Chains A and B, each alone.
Chain A
Amino acid sequence: MAKKVFTKPKYLKDAVFHYCPGCGHSIIHRLLAEIFEELDIRDRVICVPPAGCAVLAYNYLDVDMGEAPHGRGPALATGIKRVLPDRIVFSYQGDGDIAAIGTAETIHAANRGENITVIFVNNGVYGMTGGQMAPTTITGQSSTTTPGGRNVQRDGSPLDLSQMLAITNGTKYIERTAVNSPKRIKDTKKAITKAFRVQMEGLGFSLIEILSPCPTNWKMTPVEALKWVENDMTKFFPIKVIKDEVGKI
């Protein structure tokens, strides 16, 4: 008898991912779809996708979606959540979206303690536009706008937004994870699940930063990209619980 070893999650649509081979978005989408099912929240979820590669998340996730202008996800999610406080509202954002053009919206939504969740996918580059420097591009990392590598004197240092957010009172749970190994993927799922639970309990702002490979723009093979996450990115963005005022939930 054949044993079923793989099933498409119920709330992942029947669409082929447009993401590049080795990209982390498709893994994260899958995790989200699994979590919607496991927490039985699909009928209450509203997702705010960003500008960037993940804008097309609505092709894959079978939940209500309201697209935000670049960087404005947390403001838009604030509007939805305040009108419908019993729904589960989350924004899905890239590093440029959340930590450059949308910094103000992110910090203030966090500081107000908006009871929303942010999925922050950190791949260190502007992916959709072709691999320009992001606020999270690590020192020395080459991008199309940092030829020869990010130079701290010229380009500034990588910005640790999650750490910044942790000092605001409104944030209750912030964790940095990665999707570069089965263990880390499992940890990421646990973290996202907890973040949604924080919101469901009405406790306040939760954010999961996920280090995610972008082999295309990093000019690496998918396997090299997974190693780069492990060996290079984590030096600047260590995997850890950054803030947890919630504990067991």
Chain B
Amino acid sequence: MSEKKLMSGSHVIAEAAVRAGCRFYAGYPITPQNELTEYSAAAMVRTPGGTFIQAESEIAAINMVIGASMAGARAMTSSSSPGISLKQEGISFAAAMELPLLVVNTMRGGPGLGNIAPAQGDYFQATRGGGHGDYRTIVIGPASGQELADLTRKAFDYADHYLTPVMIIGDGMIGQMMEPVEFPDPIDIKKLPTKPWILDGAKGRPSRLIRSLILDIALEEAHNWKLVKKYETISREITSWEEYQTDDARLVVVAYGTAARIAKGAVRKARERGMKVGLIRPITLWPFPSRVLHEMTGRIKEFLVFEMSTGQMLEDVRLAIEGRANVHFYGRPGGVISTPEEIAGEIQGLYQSRQLDGE
């Protein structure tokens, strides 16, 4: 039986994780995501078989999660920007060792210590791998409490199915905003598919090895191509996005997460003012919904990328569009939260300067 609850985004992720069968959380305090850690502490204590560890560092936390994943548990950690930088070594190892796990990044203003306000400056870090070496992680950018609930479950399913770390990126706004959320029923972890690769002691079977050291260059190259093949499959199978009022649009705004919610408000305002404007909201940031943008260039020649950064997803939009349309950018880094009116003003200025209101 599903139930509707009013909860903050960080709590939603933690609750959704337990319901998705997550039984291991390790984390380290950092604002603005402590509510996720704290909720997990309580949730794991009351969940049979659940483990919560407040780790001595972000580095220890991700490695505890790696260990838990090796042992077969659905496991996660969460942090905010500077803490995610520290976890990148572990994420690279997990990608190399093909271990399923979930990392949540509640992004804050940066670089450096920055501030604790909502920002989207970690897009490159998340979508380009972040750590060392040739790898990708699945990156999901939810934009509502309900999506946090739904996509947290999906994140664990993706991780287990594709054997790869998955990252959810949000910010303090989506993390702290209270919204009504309907949770899916808890998973019976005994019914999850068995994992024939875990380390649980070699009882009645040959011993297993989970490693990332591959000294033989031919084998390491083969491993790299194997990962690439997997990433191609992931791109084919899970790329997702939301299209809003794009059918007759002459200008399409591209934004994700919190920025997309602001942009949606702006698109509504622009529509009220008679402008034919739509929104593309990538839900998976890696794999990026390149094809939908590319195909749109047949009828739409003006795109406006809006990010709470100096322009990172912008590069993916440009790569998708391949010069077939004009790509404009509006960004507010450093923790500034734009208003829908502000973005509507940008849309209007562009609409007029590109003379989109003609026949």
Seen from chain A, the residues whose Cβ lies within 8 Å of a Cβ on chain B are 42-46, 48, 51, 55-56, 58, 61-69, 72, 75-84, 87-88, 104-105, 107-108, 112
Q: Is B66 part of the binding interface, using a Cβ–Cβ cutoff of 8 Å?
A: yes
Q: Which 4 A-B pairs have the closest CB atoms?
A: A79-B67, A83-B71, A75-B63, A108-B56
The one of B53, B66, B213 in contact with A55, judged by C-beta atoms closer than 8 angstroms, is B213
Instruction: Name the distance in Å between B87's Cβ and chain A's nearest Cβ.
Output: 11
Q: Is B200 part of the binding interface, using a Cβ–Cβ cutoff of 8 Å?
A: yes
In the assembly, what is the distance between CA of A105 and CA of B201, in Å?
23
Q: B70 touching A69 by the CB < 8 A rule?
A: no
In the assembly, what is the distance between CA of A107 and CA of B89, in Å?
20
Interfacial chain B residues near A87, Cβ < 8 Å: 71, 200-201
Q: Chain B residue with minimal CB distance to A73?
A: B63
Interfacial chain A residues near B61, Cβ < 8 Å: 75
The one of A43, A80, A88 in contact with B68, judged by C-beta atoms closer than 8 angstroms, is A80
Seen from chain B, the residues whose Cβ lies within 8 Å of a Cβ on chain A are 23-24, 26, 51, 53, 55-57, 59-61, 63-73, 75, 89-90, 93, 97, 199-204, 207-213
Instruction: Name the distance in Å between A91's Cβ and chain B's nearest Cβ.
Output: 10
In the assembly, what is the distance between CA of A107 and CA of B67, in Å?
18
Q: Enumerate 20 A-B pairs (CB-CB under 8 Å) in ascending A order.
A: A43-B201, A46-B71, A62-B202, A63-B201, A63-B207, A64-B208, A67-B97, A69-B93, A72-B59, A72-B90, A75-B61, A77-B67, A78-B53, A82-B24, A83-B67, A83-B71, A83-B75, A104-B57, A104-B59, A105-B60
The one of B65, B93, B211 in contact with A58, judged by C-beta atoms closer than 8 angstroms, is B211
Q: Chain B residue with minimal CB distance to A70?
A: B89
In the assembly, what is the distance between CA of A90 and CA of B69, in Å?
17
The one of A43, A46, A48, A66 in contact with B204, judged by C-beta atoms closer than 8 angstroms, is A43
Instruction: Name the distance in Å between A93's Cβ and chain B's nearest Cβ.
Output: 13
Q: Chain A residue with minimal CB distance to B211?
A: A67
In the assembly, what is the distance between CA of A105 and CA of B199, in Å?
21
Interfacial chain A residues near B70, Cβ < 8 Å: 66, 76, 79-80
Q: Chain A residue with minimal CB distance to B52?
A: A82
Q: Chain B residue with minimal CB distance to A49?
A: B211
Q: Chain A residue with minimal CB distance to B24?
A: A83
The one of A56, A62, A76, A84 in contact with B207, judged by C-beta atoms closer than 8 angstroms, is A62
Q: B51 touching A83 by the CB < 8 A rule?
A: yes
Q: A80 touching B202 by the CB < 8 A rule?
A: no
Q: Chain B residue with minimal CB distance to A83?
A: B71
Instruction: Name the distance in Å between A126's Cβ and chain B's nearest Cβ.
Output: 16
* Other A-B pairs, 17, CB within 8 Å; known A65-B210, A76-B64, A79-B67: A44-B203, A46-B199, A55-B213, A64-B207, A66-B210, A67-B209, A67-B210, A69-B89, A75-B64, A76-B70, A77-B67, A79-B66, A82-B67, A83-B68, A84-B72, A105-B56, A105-B57
